[in-house]
Structure 1
């Protein structure tokens, strides 16, 4: 969430030391229960609580009505429960994710903290994994990953996850978190913690051959080829600085305009500030984000083929339909998730 990613510099500013030379410290709302004066890494445990199994599932018929899915019985009349063969969280009703993070940080290092948008996006990913096989066996990219929480959740279903951010301190913390949670991933999952600076070109110039001595967080040729096959991108709380938003969409255009169709789920928190330019309370970072998108709803999407459009198309996810699986945060009303696609022509809607 730093440099190549984002964070939340406007939450709970804390001035340390009182001197002008001291860097301003900020604190995520998620950390309000942590010791405020704690220095260095802190360990938090986030409990994921999944709904209990049901013998009969209620399903929609596509026309707004609901019907019961009939369960099969064996020759003795006993109920045959559907078995989940994938190595995901579906087999357990709860588990715990351990995250090393800082309680406060300077603005350039906000990726060392856990933010609300990160947790709501993890809820969305868990919901998708629990109710569908859409993320099974895919290649996924976590952009501006911060603590790496979302990428690690994805590793319970995806075969390959690239957890990316910028800066050795944030990336080192990501790698530590992957090590702390290695038992949660499915047995075929491959997780890579890699440097991805949105202000630099993609693919990066500094690519190594697999036979060379590997530097920390540097890409090798085979990994770049694998990333290009990704179908899913996720990013959380990376919208707060207009220059960073510009850099994000610049790299997104490169990553998403390939032949492999990709979708981005972007979670954010709308942060409102009073500005003299507007003489009003506005969410400037959010407004700048929307300038990159053509927002559609389900009705507009049906008529979109009549329009000529090339670029990013976004659709809001209804969070009222996404249960809160992670218990240790307050969702509030400022969090939002956008489903974003890149279309080359109107036929791609």
Structure 2
């Protein structure tokens, strides 16, 4: 008999009832140190007082009116994003998946209105993840996400991650855009080197191709910059955002230059809930906190501390871990043993990590994690690795 909740998730045997900062409380009273942050969503941890206040104040005033009318909180957040980024304009969604849908539509509509309706192809890369919609799974192209869901949406050219020759060969007058994550999340915490991001920008400029960045997981301070592409000193034409921007409240966005967004006129796209007062009140407060230079400097300092400790952990457990990779507080431990077994061993030590492809466990703590909590996390990961080594002895 099927469960009342569609059984599409392999859930851990854990039920959390409350949270504060980097900690979650299980129904049985156990306290877990959270290094997953809801898969990089709870950027400021659980129940951050400023976010609770922003949500409560807005909830007592107005929840929803739809985009038939002006929404002050939406305007405030849009202005902040435009002020702090490359973008000239913003469209608000409820998730990264919805942001992907609009990014694809925007790129194709751009060329249609330019008189090149056949310029629809979008280049993507292996290991990518752009959501679970038809466009998202078609863009990623992996069998894991697409099997059984055909026919897939056409118009995507899939290339191997890091294959520069294939990229050069794929460029033609049919290419509308290149879509890439500056740091792959689901793909196993694989950063695209700065020189490659610069190369992509140069390639797009040379051939008039739109460059789309998916910063759903790596954005909003996660790498120590407000957005990960800033490390390379270049900008995209279109960018997908979600997860951390809402600090736990469902919120996403597509940011774009005036040129890239020029074809998206009244009636070309819409969302009933996107940019509603509740979500944008929280998002505006997240931006106020995360975009601060001093806050980002602290993220970088703590990231250095965590990475140093993780390097020591890898050295201490060479039979369990292979290497550390990633950027800022978006780090991955590539495992020698099965990564899901490492995650499970962590549960036994009351610590939460997130599995990813390439046998990696993701460490995506709240950007507000303290040094003491980082030290405690290493202690618990060390204990988890020790139990695995002893079990194999």
TM-score normalised by length of structure 2: 0.28
Q: Which has the higher helix share?
A: 2
Q: Which has the higher strand share?
A: 1
Q: Which has the higher contact order (CA 8 A, sep 6+)?
A: 2
